Amino acid sequence: MDYTLPEFLAHAIALEHEAAERYLELADMMETYNDQVSSLFRDMVRYSRMHHDSIVERARGVELPALRATDYRWRQAPEAGGEEAFDIGLDTYKALRYARENEVRAMEYYSAVGLHSTDPEVKRLAAEFAAEETEHVDALDDWLARTPRPSAPWRDDPDRPSRA
């Protein structure tokens, strides 16, 4: 996963754009269920847009490749997640878990880029971006710890005593 600086910046810009779009969708969905979590997701939209804008600013003067969908080094942007979370039954806890999983994928992506890059500036930026994603994971962990888990049907409860 060795990137040139322009390739890495183009990927990071796309990743943060996708993250902001996904958080906006989650915020809109959570308005019905939980205003505080909706507000959290709107804050995450702002953070993603600020990070996006700071990367765009960093890339000023760098000729970025125009990446088509087939040019990205991922099948799906790490912070975009799948569509499985966007059903009518999405509850607050599941939305927070979904957001956390997206942040973990972004953190792992940036960490892997930094680990495998031969470009010192890509290594530095990837480590910086991974640390930022780690902060997001920690914040979502705090929210998850304060959010009641939805009850599972008895047959699906992982804490259900087994019959011996």
Length of the chain: 164
How far apart (Å, rounded) are the C-alpha atoms in residues 61 and 16?
A: 20
In a domain, 29, yes or no: yes
pLDDT per residue as tens digits for the range 76-106? 666 666 666 666 677 888 889 989 999 999 9
In a domain, 157, yes or no: no
Tokens representing 121 are: 């500036």
Give residue 89's domain range.
Answer: 5-149
In a domain, 134, yes or no: yes
Q: Do 126 and 117 touch, CB atoms closer than 8 A?
A: yes
CATH of the domain at 11: 1.20.1260.10
Instruction: Compute the average pLDDT of residues 23-28.
Output: 91
The 3-class SS string of 95-138 reads HHHHHHHHHHHHHHHHHHHHHHCCCHHHHHHHHHHHHHHHHHHH
- What is the 8-class DSSP label of residue 71? G
In a domain, 117, yes or no: yes
Tell whether pTM > 0.75. yes
Instruction: Compute the average pLDDT of residues 49-63.
Output: 94
Which residue would you say has higher pLDDT here, 7 or 1? 7
